[in-house]
Structure 1
Amino acid sequence: MYQYTEFDKSFVRSRAAQFRGQLERWQDGRLSEDEFRPLRLQNGWYVQRHAPMLRVAVPYGELSSAQLRVLARIAREYDEPEAEVYRLASEAQRKLGTLRLPTHYAHFTTRTNVQFNWIPLAKAADVMDLLASVDMHGIQTSGNCIRNISCDERAGVAPDEIADPRPFAEIMRQWTTLHPEFAFLPRKFKIAITGATEDRAATGWHDVGLHLLKNDAGELGFRVAVGGGMGRTPVIATVLREFLPWDQIMNYIEAIVRVYNRYGRRDNKYKARIKILVKAEGQRYIDDVEEEFRQIVELDGGPHTIAQAELDRVSASFVPPQLKRRDAPDSAAIAGMLNARAAEHPLFGRWLARNVAPHRDPALRIVTLSFKRLLQSPGDASGDQLDLVAGLAERFSAGEARVTHTQNLVLPWVHADDLFALWEAARDVGLASANVHLLTDMIACPGGDFCALANARSLPVAQAITERYQDLDELDDLGEIDLHISGCINSCGHHHSGHIGILGVDKDGEEWYQVTLGGSDGSSASGAAQPGRVIGPSFSAEQVPDVIEAILSTYRDMRESAGRREAFIDTLRRVGPEPFKAAANGVRASVEAAA
């Protein structure tokens, strides 16, 4: 993991102290609400439907056990609103049928940050001091700036990796932090980087998606794609460069952002994202970026060219940890031991198949701890669970965990012969669900239970689907299915990229849900990134689980089973959406007929 320098530590501590002063001036009336608002947003503090929300930056998803314990403490001691606020919120949710409004929880986001939903602003400065004590903050998690840069959660450990993206992400983090060119963009700006052949970072859906690769000469560089995004207008990023030498990436991003700053719309926030500019201007935008890049390199001397010495300096922080020495592993012996354990403990066998992935070191494995289970909303982690994960990370993974794009946690340094012991420990604390990539491993935003922007609630719908699909045999039979749920068109639940997407919409003040089919985040199992297609009019919350069941029944009836069983997304693409649309609309027709 990257270790903050003394300058980094001092900067984060001074930023926390600065925020304390701003908060105090707001509390005693020296700063108005309008004056304080941009200051709190610059530190990750929003005001949501019922209470403030804090977004904590987790660069490239990495968390140490010490950071996990501080997040756990914040959840336990600070994530609790004033009694009157919680009472009013609870009454409002009970009227809508929500079972609970959890406090003392953190929430993992699809861009690997961590959010808290109930911390009173009066306690905000104390929380920022706690975060700073373990080199954490909320800088660039809000506002029209370059946001926290995300990576593949298997960065540095995946067998299919061409180069580790984390050093580049860290260099960019340092470069973009408080950079004046990037501080007041037309709209927020998100960058994702992957260094593997498998795109686990959903790069095609970002304002800038970077993919490390090597050319025919064996030289390292980036494929650069620009203008991806979800929201009201889902767009897949356009490739501007098939190969850009690695040392020029920051000069090129500067060119991308300068052109965006020059021509991006500021008169209409719904048309201000770079995706709108790239889509509208097409080749003209690409030509302008190339000309800007030429001037930066030729006229300005390429001021942001990454020196090999700088890459080496930062890369030195990402060397593998010093793991406890063991005898040289015998692959056959380990495989035999794991197979024997799986035969003796079928649930361990399922977990081994679903939650454990190969590592570039044959002696190690990458393990996903699933936070998707009954009575726990996707992405939520209690303070106690965070403490337990910290202990698991220290015992089994060199004190490191990583947040995933799919709102789980990964342990990246697990010895293969520790897998059974890890499974037992995770099972005992409820974090060993063998459902990774299956239907119940869904993505969902907090939705209308928390977010002021949401048109509908996400979490009760997620819970209803989870309750219906608890049979592991049935889940395994259905196979890998990406189900994504958003409470509004802002798409924080990435419904556009789900094989099945669910979008909350407002119809005359009531909650309804559109269903989309055929989306992809760009992974090899799902194919090239693309948005799903709406399959018809919207459905009520009560109808959604029946609609999902009808869609999946149609899949079972139509899939090809000769040889390898056909995956849901492959059946959908082979037969087209019409049979699934007819099945979904049949649910509505049955309800209307019964009425």
Structure 2
Amino acid sequence: MYQYNEIDQRIVDERVAQFRDQTERFLTGGLSEDEFRPLRLMNGLYIQRHAPMLRVAIPYGMLAARQLRKLAEIARRFDRGYGHFTTRQNMQFNWVQLPQVPDILAELATVQMHAIQTSGNCVRNTTTDAFAGVAADEIVDPRPWCEIIRQWSTLHPEFAFLPRKFKIAVSGSIDDRAATLVHDIGLTACLGATGEVGFQVAIGGGLGRTPIVGDVIKPFLPARHLLTYLDAVLRIYNRFGRRDNKYKARIKILVKAMTPEGFAAKVEDEWLHLQDGPATLSDEHVRHYADFFTEPDYPAPDSGDFAARRADDLAFDRWVERNTRPQRQTGFRSVILSLKKTGVPPGDITAEQMEAVADWAERFAFGEVRIAHEQNLILPDISERDLHTLWQLARAQGFATPNIGLLTDIICCPGGDFCSLANAKSIPVAEAIQRRFDDLDYLYDLGSIQLNMSGCMNACGHHHIGNIGILGVDKNGEEWYQILLGGSQGNQAAIGKVIGPSFARESIPDVIEKILQVFVERRLPDEAFLEAVQRLGAEPFKERVYAKHH
């Protein structure tokens, strides 16, 4: 895990002092609302529907136990006793008081954390696979590269005021678990003909108002050129990206206008001036960052009575099957702690739960926690011997719902309950769906289904890439919901299609049930939901859902 050096710490401490002064000047009338807005956004502070919201950066989704404890302390002292994990692997506090925000940032700085570049038109938090470093299908550990990108992009003077926000995701595995193809830049690690490490570069993906799957513009970029090539991409975007219309300002619109080939050609021309320049990464640079992510000293594998416990206890076996993943280190697993218990907003976690997870990370592993973009927590490096004990502790804290990858493992934004941009509430709809399908046997029979939900076009709940997507829309001041089918993330990313007119809130669980009935009736043996949708098309689902209208 990356450790701050003296310069890192000083930058963050100075930023806190600077923002404290800016906040005091705003509160005493020395700065206007318009003057203060860009300053607060630079520090991750939004004005939401009910209260200011502070978004805390969690670089590439990695937390030390001490950092998670600090987030718990902040939730207790400055918020309402809980926080919310987002699809960008960050944490949001939804009920902070503006005069106290500098104090919160000062507390974060004591554990090497901050809120820099979690908002504004800059390079946001770089995300990656939550199983980085332990995944069995990993080609390259993406975390050192994420840290290199983080250091390059943080407070970069040339890219502090881009046409719009900018998001980068890195995948180091055969199976893309970082949704790279729906990011402004998606980097997928690969090996060249001689075994050299490099990246496939995809550009112009994104969700929101205009959902687009990114285009690969560079099939193999040698890793040493990563920063110079990123510089070239950002410079082209900075120069040609639209600033006159915020709805057309993302890089995906520019790539579409120029065509991927035209954009790639401009990047190559720009790169000619940068390639092999000062930002070229030496082996020594890369080793320096890789040294922060060395493998811990694993004890000899000891499964204890793990196999016997699985055989004796169906509930435990089911949890192991759904909520753990074998690691490439024999005898160890990564445990997925579900934040999708029915009745709890997806991604929400209490201070008490945070402290429990921090304790487990130190007791059973090496003191590290990961946040997945699916809004669950991951404890890597758990010995199979300890899984039964951890399962019992997780059940007591409400973390052991064995629904990972199933219908009720919903990805969901905070929606109209909190967000001032939202057209509709999302949390009550997610809860209604979870309650309707709270039968685990039925969920297991349905198999893997990703349901994603957003309260507005900004798509913070990634509804476009859910196998089933739900989007809240405003119709004459009332909340209605569109249904999308056929979206997916990963290597075969696809944008779901709207199946027809929107529905009133109370009918959504019925609509989902009808969609699932068609799947159960017409699926082939061992066919997954997404495969059935791709084979059948949307028509049979539409017919069932809209039948009452004919």
Shared topology, TM-score over 0.5?
yes
Q: Secondary structure of 1:115's partner?
A: strand
Alignment match, 2:282: 307
1:92-131 mapped onto 2 (5 Å cutoff): 103-131=80-108
Q: What residue identity is the alignment partner of 1:160? A: D
Question: Please, which moves more after superposition, 488-497 or 285-294?
Answer: 285-294
Deviations 1:5-55 (A, max 9, x none): 122122111211111111111111111111111111100000011110110
Alignment match, 1:60: 60
- The one of 111, 117, 124 equivalent to 1:147 is 124
What TM-score results when the alignment is normalised by the length of structure 1? 0.91
1:242-321 mapped onto 2 (5 Å cutoff): 242-282=219-259, 283-297=261-275, 301-321=276-296
User: Contact (CA 8 Å) 2:163, 2:249: kept in 1 or not?
Assistant: yes
Deviations 1:397-450 (A, max 9, x none): 211100001000000111121111111111121111111000110100000000
**Deviation, structure 1 residue 360:** 1.5
**Deviation, structure 1 residue 469:** 1.1
**Deviation, structure 1 residue 589:** 2.9
Q: Distance in 2 between matches of 1:411 and 1:329?
A: 17
- The one of 401, 414, 426 equivalent to 1:433 is 401
Instruction: Say whether residues 1:537 and 2:507 are aligned partners.
Output: no
User: Contact (CA 8 Å) 2:301, 2:332: kept in 1 or not?
Assistant: no
Alignment match, 2:520: 556
Q: Distance in 2 between matches of 1:59 and 1:585?
A: 44
Instruction: Say whether residues 1:421 and 2:389 are aligned partners.
Output: yes
**Deviation, structure 1 residue 346:** 1.2
1:295-444 mapped onto 2 (5 Å cutoff): 295-297=273-275, 301-323=276-298, 325=299, 328-329=300-301, 334=303, 337-444=305-412
Q: Distance in 2 between matches of 1:34 and 1:470?
A: 47
Alignment match, 1:511: 479
**Deviation, structure 1 residue 307:** 1.2
Q: What residue identity is the alignment partner of 2:375? A: Q
Alignment match, 2:544: 583
Alignment match, 2:529: 568
Q: Distance in 1 between matches of 2:301 and 2:34?
A: 62
Q: What residue identity is the alignment partner of 2:326? A: P
Q: What residue identity is the alignment partner of 2:5? A: T
Q: What residue identity is the alignment partner of 1:559? A: R
User: Contact (CA 8 Å) 2:128, 2:143: kept in 1 or not?
Assistant: yes
Q: Distance in 2 between matches of 1:371 and 1:290?
A: 44
Q: Distance in 2 between matches of 1:185 and 1:553?
A: 47
Q: Distance in 2 between matches of 1:538 and 1:419?
A: 44
Question: Please, which moves more after superposition, 62-71 or 336-345?
Answer: 336-345
1:11-160 mapped onto 2 (5 Å cutoff): 11-79=11-79, 103-160=80-137
Q: Distance in 2 between matches of 1:520 and 1:69?
A: 34
Deviations 1:437-493 (A, max 9, x none): 001101000000000100000000000001111111111001110000000000000
**Deviation, structure 1 residue 270:** 0.2
Q: Distance in 2 between matches of 1:570 and 1:258?
A: 40
Q: Distance in 1 between matches of 2:296 and 2:31?
A: 47
Deviations 1:65-91 (A, max 9, x none): 111111111111211xxxxxxxxxxxx
Q: What residue identity is the alignment partner of 1:76? A: R
User: Contact (CA 8 Å) 2:369, 2:379: kept in 1 or not?
Assistant: yes
Deviations 1:194-245 (A, max 9, x none): 1000100000000000000102221110000000001111111110110000
**Deviation, structure 1 residue 516:** 0.2
Alignment match, 1:96: none
Q: What residue identity is the alignment partner of 1:576? A: G
What TM-score results when the alignment is normalised by the length of structure 2? 0.98
Q: Distance in 2 between matches of 1:375 and 1:72?
A: 21
Q: Distance in 1 between matches of 2:301 and 2:222?
A: 38
**Deviation, structure 1 residue 125:** 1.0
Deviation >3 Å, runs of 4+: none
Deviations 1:152-176 (A, max 9, x none): 1011111100011111111111111
Q: What residue identity is the alignment partner of 1:315? A: A
Q: What residue identity is the alignment partner of 1:491? A: A
Instruction: Say whether residues 1:228 and 2:205 are aligned partners.
Output: yes
Q: What residue identity is the alignment partner of 1:441? A: D
**Deviation, structure 1 residue 363:** 2.4
Q: Distance in 1 between matches of 2:293 and 2:508?
A: 45
Q: Secondary structure of 1:506's partner?
A: strand
Deviations 1:78-119 (A, max 9, x none): 11xxxxxxxxxxxxxxxxxxxxxxx42211111101101100
Q: What residue identity is the alignment partner of 2:64? A: S
Alignment match, 1:202: 179
Q: Distance in 2 between matches of 1:46 and 1:449?
A: 15
Q: What residue identity is the alignment partner of 1:202? A: A
Q: Distance in 1 between matches of 2:407 and 2:192?
A: 38
Unaligned runs of 5+ in 1: 80-102, 591-595
**Deviation, structure 1 residue 329:** 2.9
User: Contact (CA 8 Å) 2:301, 2:383: kept in 1 or not?
Assistant: no
CA RMSD of aligned residues (A): 1.2
Q: What residue identity is the alignment partner of 1:71? A: L
**Deviation, structure 1 residue 178:** 1.0
User: Contact (CA 8 Å) 2:456, 2:473: kept in 1 or not?
Assistant: yes
Q: What residue identity is the alignment partner of 2:75? A: A
Alignment match, 1:8: 8
Q: Secondary structure of 1:542's partner?
A: helix
Q: Distance in 2 between matches of 1:251 and 1:127?
A: 35
Q: Distance in 2 between matches of 1:574 and 1:50?
A: 45
**Deviation, structure 1 residue 535:** 0.4
**Deviation, structure 1 residue 353:** 0.3
Alignment match, 1:445: 413
Q: What residue identity is the alignment partner of 2:369? A: A
Q: Distance in 1 between matches of 2:239 and 2:14?
A: 33
Alignment match, 1:88: none
**Deviation, structure 1 residue 533:** 0.5
Q: Secondary structure of 2:19's partner?
A: helix
Deviations 1:286-330 (A, max 9, x none): 110111111212xxx52211111111111111012345x3xx336
> Aligned residue pairs: how many?
549
Q: Secondary structure of 2:231's partner?
A: helix
Q: Secondary structure of 2:219's partner?
A: strand
1:481-520 mapped onto 2 (5 Å cutoff): 481-520=449-488
